[in-house]
Amino acid sequence: MSFSVIITAGGIGKRMGFDIPKQFIEIAGFPILMHTIRCFFNYNPTCQILVTLPEEWKNYWGELIDTYDFDIPHDLISGGKERYDSIKNALLFCQHDLIAVHDGVRPLVSSETIERCFQLVKSKGAVIPVLTLKESLRVKGDNISKSVERKNYLSVQTPQFFSSELLKNAYKIPFHSNITDDASLVEEAGYIIATIEGNEENIKITTPFDLKIAEVFLK
């Protein structure tokens, strides 16, 4: 059994200070997005890879493919105004009964994490990788903050795996600003989200510091 993976690559990365979106920044010899695509191809060469990109950056991506002689098969899907719109577009092209959604700027997801999610989603229908927290936490209030139990909280990663029917049902809910990820939308649709252990280095690259960390691991 294989699966479809939607890799979202619509960010512009203003905090990076580059002239190009962060998914195109080169680290360890390749653009970040290529590293990310390779994670899923290396895990299962038969999986269907769908990449959502803003329309105005598709030609640039094509130039990068030629420059780096990148030959991993994948389909490009036009991104929408919101991440929600991009994924909804991509769902129309998914060919498998299981669908993963992954951030294009998480190039360090391990095959072990993908495997754990893939195996559990078959019985649970909705699975996300998470990590327990190490730091102490405080919640902000009006002019005060209060300590909270970190054992009650989890850090959420991607890929988030779902049955195709379940995810497509969830995307019938109209977009609203409280949709933080696919799991939150699926939960709003009335489904239960199972959790599985992620991998600590599976960071989302959003700052120059993250870029340095990722480069160390990828090298």
**The predicted structure's pLDDT at residue 184:** 97
| Per-residue confidence in pLDDT tens, the chain, 219 aa | 899 999 999 876 566 767 899 999 999 999 999 999 999 999 999 999 999 999 999 999 999 999 999 999 999 999 998 999 999 999 999 999 999 999 999 999 999 999 999 999 999 999 999 999 999 999 998 889 999 999 999 999 999 999 999 999 999 999 999 999 999 999 999 999 999 999 999 999 999 999 999 999 998
- Rg of the chain over Cα atoms, rounded to whole angstroms, equals 17
- Tell me if 39 sits within 8 A of 5, measured CB to CB: no
Give the domain CATH number at 161.
3.90.550.10
Number of domains in the chain: 1
**The predicted structure's pLDDT at residue 142:** 85
- pTM of the model as a whole: 0.95
**The predicted structure's pLDDT at residue 13:** 59
Structural domain of 160: 4-218
**The predicted structure's pLDDT at residue 18:** 76
Q: What is the DSSP string of 91-153?
A: HTT--SSEEEEEETT-TT--HHHHHHHHHHHHHHSEEEEEEE--S-EEEE-SS-EEEE-GGG-
